[in-house]
Structure 1
């Protein structure tokens, strides 16, 4: 039988755990596993239980600032069901010796398939005539694992691909090429954003370089432009903007209702396979940090 390694494991609201994950976690905690539907209010029984947490599993929607982390004085391990640590106060975790482990790559396939699916859907059904992607120009803002995978598929479909990153990068002569942001946006028939979480990488002047009828796909965490810039830009154009629920996180209702804005009621990266990969990585990270709980807890 597995010896419990933590005094109190808490699963935050943003993890959406499967029964399999919960079954794997239960033998690792002395106290009953605490699964939160919401963050508890001060003074509640659940609040007192959370205060005993020494291992916390959290999702990308959970804001873990110093105040919230400070309510868990015994915390020594934070496992994220997310690639980004933007919502974690890393100065606090470093100061208090809390290990933070994100996961990587678990949703890349779903994200790539979503973006390519939207490109194909627009080519076939987005205008008066059915068109092909071959020969069209795709601009990628951001070129991490997902952006690079989208580029490979788009290139295989015959598209010309350009990408933008803050620093110039050399691509193969017959492959995707780096471009300045203005050149990329100005010349693209399709644009897909793959920039860092909650980072405004484009402003109104940049957005206005995109062709009025071009399809724009956004699957970043949060909009890649300020809301007021996005609002002014989309009001002045005819083309569609497609967002998944990650991109629409915190999106004001009037922006979601703008003509041409389509918010899909799904997370592009979330598939049955990606859930299994994410939970496998979370468990592997947790098990790599197993230590018996302190006697004074």
Structure 2
């Protein structure tokens, strides 16, 4: 029976998917575990489900030879050593679409709140001031929203913003088809100099670290607003603090930070703390009941399809083989080093044992190849042992 271990309070919708598929050996943990406890908890697990706080590194993968696949019940996969997982024959799945609406709604809401100076007004009322002045408060209608990163979330933000009457421009390093009336900018600078509100929707990593630095902030329109619900390393927080203090920016909303608290009782350390024109949220862009339910179902379904049929469609680190109905008595899943003659070697071993290959699908990615073979004939333990012993084999399983 396939053993599944889930961490960090993954939504019950995932359990429903596993149970419907007959995968009932599921162990759940409400939180992330320290490395030593994590290793013990994963002994014997073939599938693991995590969110952002559980880190799977090369040392852990080496200690878990039975692990077959990882499900990241979130968008990001930075917490997993993806290359090591690939070289171990372990596909990693995530949920790139399920929280799109939740993040987009948060960004639009923060846009309206900041344009109307609601955070400041709210704070003043709480402290005994009845400030009804309209100075510096604006409608969203007619303002320009600049979207940096026009992917799944960025494009949806644009659709919602247009419905509120905003003009939408975007910048992306790749050519993207505009939705609605959105217009592409040819450079980040071109976007920054015309947007009343700039919202960031780019991945993390070295390519986007401090993308919004002092120079970029200076290029923004005086009195404009910055929103970051992407990755904490994208914005130079000290430079943002200075731009807000000087009045060059009128406000900001930050949901992600370069260094985030490890638990709910730990305080955020940031120079933005206490600024009345800044909305600070604890990395909750996708934290709605709807998105968590959708994420639980989406990732669990990908793991089930992999276990039941070997399909790796949607894996972020692995050759993608799409779903096909079984064409033989047994399906062999073979992960191998991507070297000349690998497929011939595999087919030769199967032929030597009298197996007839009914259908094969092969995909490669970098150093790794993945073959799904439907065969007729008896796939005995001896056949599996010979396939696993081959010099080209990384791992081999049968369904």
Same fold (TM over 0.5): yes
C-alpha distance 61-229 of structure 1, shift in aligned 2 (>3 A):
farther
Query: What is the aligned partner in structure 2 of residue 88 from structure 1?
Result: 80
Q: Do the aligned partners of 1:234 and 1:258 also contact (CA within 8 Å) in 2?
A: no
User: Which of 132, 141, 147 is the equivalent residue of 1:134?
Assistant: 141
C-alpha distance 255-70 of structure 1, shift in aligned 2 (>3 A):
farther
1:191 aligns with 2:198: yes
CA RMSD in angstroms comes to: 3.0
Q: Following the alignment from structure 1 to structure 2, what is the Cα–Cα distance between the partners of residues 131 and 157?
A: 13
C-alpha distance 99-29 of structure 1, shift in aligned 2 (>3 A):
farther
User: Which of 70, 95, 111 is the equivalent residue of 2:62?
Assistant: 70
Q: Following the alignment from structure 2 to structure 1, what is the Cα–Cα distance between the partners of residues 242 and 115?
A: 26
TM-score (norm 1): 0.82
1:248 aligns with 2:257: yes
1:12 aligns with 2:7: yes
User: Which of 157, 161, 167 is the equivalent residue of 1:160?
Assistant: 167
Q: What is the 5 A alignment of 1:1-297?
A: 4=1, 6=2, 8-13=3-8, 16-22=9-15, 25=18, 28=23, 30=25, 33-35=27-29, 37-42=31-36, 47-126=39-118, 128=135, 130-167=137-174, 171=178, 174-198=181-205, 199-200=208-209, 201-237=211-247, 238-244=249-255, 247-248=256-257, 250-251=259-260, 253-257=269-273, 259=275, 260-265=277-282, 267-290=284-307
Q: How many residues align?
A: 283
Shift of 1:227: 4.1
Deviations 1:222-277 (A, max 9, x none): 24124444444444335211122xx1362561334163432124612221111111
Q: Following the alignment from structure 2 to structure 1, what is the Cα–Cα distance between the partners of residues 187 and 203?
A: 17
1:187 is paired with a residue whose SS is coil
C-alpha distance 75-229 of structure 1, shift in aligned 2 (>3 A):
farther
Unaligned runs of 5+ in 1: none
Instruction: Spell out structure 1 runs of 4+ moving beyond 6 A.
Output: none
Q: Do the aligned partners of 2:148 and 2:199 also contact (CA within 8 Å) in 1?
A: yes
Q: Following the alignment from structure 1 to structure 2, what is the Cα–Cα distance between the partners of residues 57 and 221?
A: 21
C-alpha distance 248-112 of structure 1, shift in aligned 2 (>3 A):
same
1:79 is paired with a residue whose SS is strand
Deviations 1:181-211 (A, max 9, x none): 1121122111111111353233221122123
Q: Do the aligned partners of 1:25 and 1:33 also contact (CA within 8 Å) in 2?
A: no
1:240 is paired with a residue whose SS is strand
Q: Following the alignment from structure 2 to structure 1, what is the Cα–Cα distance between the partners of residues 195 and 258?
A: 26
C-alpha distance 269-170 of structure 1, shift in aligned 2 (>3 A):
closer
2:113 is paired with a residue whose SS is helix
Unaligned runs of 5+ in 2: 119-133, 261-267, 310-380, 386-399
2:307 is paired with a residue whose SS is coil
Q: Following the alignment from structure 2 to structure 1, what is the Cα–Cα distance between the partners of residues 270 and 65?
A: 41
Q: Following the alignment from structure 1 to structure 2, what is the Cα–Cα distance between the partners of residues 280 and 239?
A: 40
Shift of 1:67: 2.4
Q: Following the alignment from structure 1 to structure 2, what is the Cα–Cα distance between the partners of residues 168 and 184?
A: 15
Indicate the structure (1 or 2) with the bigger Cα radius of gyration: 2
